[in-house]
Chains A and B, each alone.
Chain A
Amino acid sequence: MSADAGTPRILYCHCAYAQAVPKPVKQQVLQTLTASGVEFEAVPDLCEMSAKRDPALAELAGCGALTIVACYPRAVTWLFNAAGAPLAEGVRVLNMRTETAEAVAAALPRRTERGAGAPASEPVGECDGRSPSVKR
């Protein structure tokens, strides 16, 4: 279960230790994400990872196809920077503080279930920095 270079990634932040993200939004987004068939990384709190300079941030930051579902792009960008893991070009940040759950869910990369026998289709944003939509 190690990272590979062709990996599209979704990083979801649950903002578990504060009420900064409206609860109904994060619940609905998480529900959509877990039902979508895509692989994801769900973390309790990006701020906590940044403060602890979690090495996982550096690994994720290097992936240009990364979609981060969290809060304000400016905050996310500098949280990664503070952890010594500046985000690569092409990373998308979806803001659960300002967007509706529907809008965030609609912007999530989609992928057909893999691993249960179904081959991947419509690969979205391979980890090569060619992500179609940049929102930083």
Chain B
Amino acid sequence: MSGAIRVVLYEGAGSAPFGAGERFEITRALLEKGYRVTRAHAGGRGTAGAEGAPLVVLGRFDEAKPAEAVSEAGAPVYFRDVADRQPDAIVALVEEAGAGAGATKPGGWKPWFPVIDYGRCTNCMQCLTFCLFDVYGVSGEKKIQVQKPSNCKTDCPACSRVCPEVAILFPKYKAGPINGDEVNDADLEREKMKVDISALLGGDIYAALRQRSQHAQSRFAKERDDARALEERKRCLTKLQQALDIPAEVLGALPSLDDIRERTARAMAQTNPAPATGEEGA
């Protein structure tokens, strides 16, 4: 594999400019198929090819170009004359070149993952301990980081709800401040109320349900009804799901309080320097 293919719309020496409408349609069609497009003039100031990705140079060339060359970075460069071609046909040319270069096919994943605002993050590890999908990890410098973004559950912003500092963004989320909008005092107040969601979800709910269950056992021992308890739990979770915009399947897979405690301990062990035991290297 040689990375994702890049496209250059070349309108410099030896290639007639595209019409504005044509340039727009070609660019849009390529973007929507997941291709990155650089518009370059003579002498080219773009970054195309700088990182060694295969390149397709599209132009309305005055004279015949070699079909293929090699960039300074050693990547294949494909020249394609696209005069009088429709955007769809141009996309097909690019796809064909990409297949020939063994390039990664674009798209196929909605890039949904948490982004940490380190200007706000206090490295408290609540996100790491709460996340069910091992998205987070700890760096060599003992710093929380997103290590497996593709593990993230699409459209789930749950970890941002547990962050006491509103430091976790999901840029594609519908509303602020999770979408990256500036954090204001009202947001902070609101989020502080949700600070202990990991306990609320992992602990309080279970505790509340246990309490209710015990209560029910003592009062209605003869009428014990597991189905009713289950319904009650569902109602609780549905309320939370609606209030916090957390997918049902995530709520349904919540860790137990013990799990959360264990994860927290593991995370903290990662962030704290190992105690000197005098046994290093043993």
Residues of A within 8 A of B (CB): 1-4, 7, 14-18, 20, 27, 30-31, 34-35, 38-48, 50-51, 54-56, 59-60, 71-76, 78-79, 81-82, 97-98, 113-116
Contacts and interface: CB of A to CB of B under 8 A. Distances in A.
- Name the prevailing secondary structure of the B interface residues: loop
Contacts of B11: 115-116
Interface residues of B, number: 56
Given A39-B39, A45-B111, A78 B116 contact: yes
A54 B48 CA distance: 13
13 contacts: A1-B45, A2-B44, A2-B49, A27-B28, A35-B20, A42-B31, A44-B32, A47-B113, A54-B51, A72-B181, A82-B116, A115-B12, A116-B41
A2 B50 contact: yes
Interface of B: 8, 11-13, 17, 20, 23-24, 27-28, 31-51, 72, 106-107, 109-113, 115-118, 146, 149-150, 169, 171-174, 176, 179-182
Contacts of A72: 171, 176, 179-182
A59 B51 CA distance: 9
A47 B152 CA distance: 13
Contact of A1 (B28, B40, B181): B40
Contact of B118 (A39, A44, A60, A78): A78
Given A17-B110, A71-B180, A115-B13, A3 B169 contact: no
